[in-house]
Amino acid sequence: MALPKSFLGDDFLLENDIAAALFHDHAARLPIIDYHNHLPPEDIAANRRFQNITQIWLAGDHYKWRAMRANGVPEKYITGAATDWEKFEKWAQTVPATLRNPLFHWTHLELRRYFDIEKILSPATARDIFEQTNDALQKPELITQGILKKMNVEVVCTTDDPADDLEAHQKINEYQRISTQINPTFRPDKAIFIEKEGFVAYIEKLAAAANLEIQNFADLLKALRRRMDFFASLGCRLSDHGLEKMPAADLASGKTENQAVSIFKKKISGKKITPAEAEIYQSALLFELGKEYARRGWTQQFHLGALRNNNSRLLKNLGADTGFDSIGDFSQGIPLSHFLDKLDKNNQLAQTILYNLNPADNEVFASMAGNFNDGSTPGKVQWGSAWWFLDQKDGMEKQLNTLSQLGLLARFVGMLTDSRSFMSFPRHEYFRRILCNLIGRDVQNGELPHDLDLLGKLVEDVCYFNARNYFKF
């Protein structure tokens, strides 16, 4: 009987010598382009020093929070008033229960890559690891800008609201001391969700940021374009949208634009609108935004399929983005087709990346992307990386296999973290190992040629060069 491999050893996730050669000789050395994440640019601009591992590792990480709740940890020790040590101690008690959950891999990869700690986190090791990591966090290489350099991060694209002043991005540009390129991303969801409470107040905030009074739909578009100009001046070249599904209310008729004008006026006058009216407005606004992205040469991203804020009691107590979202089962294909087709008809479809959260939609999204590639740009419309609940070994393998079968893996722009944590960059390593292993497995089975030059180029393109070329970084 063969001895088991060591946990997280050099050949972690790599099943044969070919996979190992592809990873170690081609993937491991490449810089990281993290083109979609939620890192706070303020922390980068200030070169924040975290006082302890709880602050950098547990604060804001709803993946860990969900696991702790499932393990019976009271909210006091998750988002409540417990001390940072008490919260870390409860996480250490939870980690042994995460066996076979990706959190177990991520936790120990991060301890190794950031702190050179090979111990398994548990109640028995918690105090030593807490003290060792806290000491390490005082070193220059583990403050925010040092982390980006240590982890070989070449580009970071944060996620920013059109009304944001982008002061942190301005400071970063002025200092010019950071080796990593930091760009904002335009995320206008609050301008799109007309049905939500606070919409009118948000429009007033957007108007102030654009230095423009917004009285009608045309003013709204003008304000958003003005904010795009500002974002572009600081390096923005991507937009992002988080939607349940693509709103595409009667786009084929061409009537939505006129209806959106009256619906917007009705809303800002204080009147209630119907769900059908909200979808008409959203469809029209997204279409106008899509045309503007194409005109500017930006890439638009659509994250579709999250069923958010399911637990109303805890949402009320803790707010959004605290771990109560799940996979939704929305109908995606028809509205997505209508939206992309209307833009494409007049050659106004920007580079587009589509992300699905429901794995049942894998083939729908992969095949939909192929409908709108026109030869103008390699991989112009992309099916994006495995997202959120699918961002783990099984989900990544399924995404890579489906993309290979229905599209061109060779044109894929690769991995991103979609994370609020500076500790998440080893997820790029995780993805790269999984990619190399799939290719190595195919070679072993005689399904791909044993040509390391050919395969190595594929790996390097997917892990780095495709993203650099696609986004023109």
Tokens of 352: 């587009």
Residue 253 has pLDDT above 70, yes or no: no
Determine the average pLDDT of the residues in 209-216. Answer: 97
Confidence at 351, pLDDT banded by 50, 70, 90: very high
User: What pTM, to 2 d.p., does this model score?
Assistant: 0.96
Confidence at 252, pLDDT banded by 50, 70, 90: low
Report the distance separating Cα 39 and Cα 42, nearest Å. 9
119-123, 202-206, 315-319, 443-447 — which is least confidently predicted?
A: 315-319
Beta-strand pair 351-356/299-304: parallel
3-state SS class at 129: helix
DSSP for 285-308 reads HHHHHHHHHHHHT-EEEEEE-EE-
Residue 58 is given by DSSP the state T
Measuring CA to CA, which residue among 440, 388, 382, 375 is closest to residue 410? 382
Whether the CB-CB separation of 35 and 153 falls below 8 Å is answered with no
Question: 22: which residues sit within 8 A by CB, 6+ positions away?
Answer: 436, 439, 440, 452, 455, 456, 459
Report the distance separating Cα 400 and Cα 441, nearest Å. 13
Residue reference for tokens 């060779």: 410
Confidence at 3, pLDDT banded by 50, 70, 90: confident
Determine the average pLDDT of the residues in 287-305. Answer: 98
Whether the CB-CB separation of 355 and 302 falls below 8 Å is answered with yes
Residue 275 is given by DSSP the state H
Average pLDDT value over all residues in the chain: 96
Question: 428: which residues sit within 8 A by CB, 6+ positions away?
Answer: 32, 34, 415, 417, 463
Measuring CA to CA, which residue among 220, 222, 217, 292 is closest to residue 259? 217
Tokens of 98: 């995460």
Report the distance separating Cα 402 and Cα 366, nearest Å. 7
Confidence at 254, pLDDT banded by 50, 70, 90: low
Tokens of 2: 């063969």
3-class SS string, 359-376: HHHHHHHHHHHHHCCCCC
Tokens of 153: 């991060």
Report the distance separating Cα 374 and Cα 376, nearest Å. 6
CA neighbours within 13 Å on the CB side: how many for 303?
A: 22
Measuring CA to CA, which residue among 463, 457, 378, 377 is closest to residue 416? 463
